[in-house]
Amino acid sequence: MPAAATSGEVAGRAPGFLAKERTIAGPGFNRWLVPPAALAMHLCIGMAYGFSVFWLPLSKALGINASLACPAGTTLLDELATTSCDWRISSLTWMYTLFFVFLGLSAALFGGWLERVGPRKAGVVAALCWAGGFVVSAGGVASHQLWLLWLGSGVIGGVGLGLGYISPVSTLIKWFPDRRGMATGMAIMGFGGGAMIGSPLANELMKHFATATDVGVTRTFLVFALGYFIFMMGGALGYRVPAPGWKPAGWTAPVAAAGSALNTLHHVHVSKVWGIPQFWLVWMVLCMNVSAGIGVLGMASPMLQEVFGGHLIHQDIRYGDLDKAGLAAIAGVAAGFTALLSLFNIIGRFFWASLSDKLGRKATYVVFFVLGGFLYATVPVSAAAGSQLAFVTAFCVILSMYGGGFATVPAYLADLFGTQMVGAIHGRLLTAWGVAGILGPVVINRMRDYQLSLGIAPERVYNQTMYILTGMLAVGLLCNLMVRPVAARWFMTEEELAAERRRAHEAAARPEVGGTGSGQPTSPLIVALAWAAVGIPLAWGLYRSLLGIAKFFG
């Protein structure tokens, strides 16, 4: 059909504002506007990591100064609807579990839909769910109904979390075929940084709203809902997708002999990935890396305190012999250590993903598993020697690779399966995160409890755990080494690819530049303002984290 007729057909259909056709960028659009839009989304949903800041205030929602304990024999089912006693922290933390269960489920279920409708519509739905979850949770706090908190933040918010997490991935990879790792690293770095901003902000808001009869969580939730909705909508509306056939100026796609390289120029349909061995190998790679890292993340603070005890405050006293003041003092040091680990988790997402553009994705994961395994194995040695420097350095590098694993895997998938449906494939791969979120902490906690039941001193109960985590990384290494180029039979034919692109509305291009359709180059001022919008909050969060880290080094 002639181009003019096609344009007329598109005009006749009058695609809505959220339609994918309306997000296709025209000539002159600056691709560096897309990363801050992705960061805006991830900085908001990254608050999922910081929700623990609400547990203690919520556990005193009725008692205010102290928890109003429930009668003996009160079950978790009773707590869901009770209005006469405070919730236990263990009951509240189910929201954290629901976050990541529904992140994985929604990412897997709606990944294909996202590829068809585009990142703008998916981002808007993510904003509605994430902010709406805070509103529902605020109602749960006001009415003291735990089930509303679970439904709001855990279920509805979890769906927004999954859609918001994967919505920019495919888009960024298509805008940066020359630097896939760096592009996804920038966005997923924001997910790690979300809690760095949200946690201290939540503390300040709760202090501001707290009264003699209110811990201040309800209004804090409502403020977060409004702020996150505005910020996430800004990110969603800032998304643009490249026109079909677009490539960076001066860049030529690498040409490799068939079967000789992992970086393919073809595309796999998301419906086929469950049957492809490479998908399950990468699934295991992510699962093992995250299981080991998330286990360390959860136990790093108590491990530091129990291993070094009074030495953290320059006193030659074992952890079990410290008085109340000493315990409080080393807890403050451990909080700074946790902030330091969070910072390395964030930095690692950008650093390792960017480095993977040079090393290759497979080689980068080899580094994760070999270096990580060595560091895990040396932790008991440094602990026994009393070397705080070696201990802390090992954990910082380990956490950087934990974050780096998340940021590198979308580019790994694009290399193996092509870019056409990488967002949907990434969504299905995130089920590995859900499994790891259970496997890692369960193994760590059960092993610790078992060691303690044998009468082993607290400072030594982690030794066997470190070797178990080393074994997990060895499994991940073997799976990674087994990854080979995807066989040609799994790729879409030219006809299938064309049909998929029609379903994804890529053939009916309605180019826009910065939302104006003017075709004029994007103003550098607009690019600078977009980066400032995400850079200023990130800088504030970094400043607050550095204050905590200073306590550790002090």
For 466, phi then psi, to 5°, come to -60, -35
Residues 6+ apart with CB under 8 A from 190: 38, 39, 40, 41, 42, 43, 46, 534, 538
Question: SS3 for 213?
Answer: coil
Instruction: Please give the backbone phi and psi of residue 25, each rounded to the nearest 5 degrees, phi first.
Output: -75, 145
CA distance 369 to 382: 20
Let me know: does 165 contact 430? Beta carbons within 8 Å.
yes
Name the residue among 134, 129, 137 with its Cα closest to residue 161: 129
Q: Do the Cβ atoms of 144 and 152 come closer than 8 Å? A: no
Tell me if 294 sits within 8 A of 100, measured CB to CB: no
Q: Which of 232, 223, 213, 59 is nearest to 161 (CA)?
A: 232
Count CB atoms within 10 A of the CB of residue 519. 12
What is the rounded distance in angstroms from the CA atom of residue 260 to the CA atom of residue 248? 25
- Contact in structure between 376 and 466 (CB atoms under 8 Å): yes
Which residue is it, tokens 């890692």?
A: 440
Nearest alpha carbon to residue 233 among 40, 43, 42, 48: 40
Instruction: Report the largest interatomic distance among the alpha carbons of the chain, rounded to a whole angstrom.
Output: 83
By the 8 A CB rule, do 337 and 257 touch? no
3-state DSSP assignment of residue 241:
strand
SS3 at position 266: coil
Residue 503 has a pLDDT of 78
> Helix crossing, 277-308 with 361-385: angle to 10°?
20
Residue 153 near residue 134, CB atoms below 8 Å:
yes
Nearest Cα neighbor of 35 from 211, 233, 169 is: 169
For residues 28 and 513, the answer to whether their CB atoms sit within 8 Å is yes
Task: Judge contact between 473 and 293, C-beta under 8 A.
Answer: no
Kindly give the confidence (pLDDT) of every residue in the chain, 554 residues in length, as a single tens digit, with 9 standing for 90 and above. 344 444 344 334 445 778 888 888 888 899 999 999 999 999 999 999 888 889 889 999 999 888 898 888 888 888 898 898 999 888 888 888 888 889 889 999 998 899 889 999 999 999 999 999 999 999 999 999 999 999 999 999 999 999 999 999 889 998 999 999 999 998 889 988 898 899 899 989 999 999 999 999 999 999 999 999 999 999 999 999 998 888 898 888 776 544 446 788 899 999 999 999 999 999 999 999 998 888 777 677 777 887 888 888 888 888 778 888 887 888 778 778 888 888 999 999 999 999 999 999 999 999 999 999 999 999 888 888 888 889 899 999 999 999 999 999 999 999 999 988 999 999 999 999 888 877 877 777 777 777 778 877 766 777 888 888 899 999 999 999 999 999 999 999 999 988 888 877 665 444 444 444 445 788 899 999 999 999 999 999 999 889 888 877 76
Give the chain's length: 554
Which residues, in sequence order, are CB contacts of 135 under 8 Å at separation 6+?
152, 221, 222, 225
pTM, two decimal places: 0.86
Domains of the chain, with CATH numbers?
35-67+76-242+510-554 (1.20.1250.20), 259-500 (1.20.1250.20)
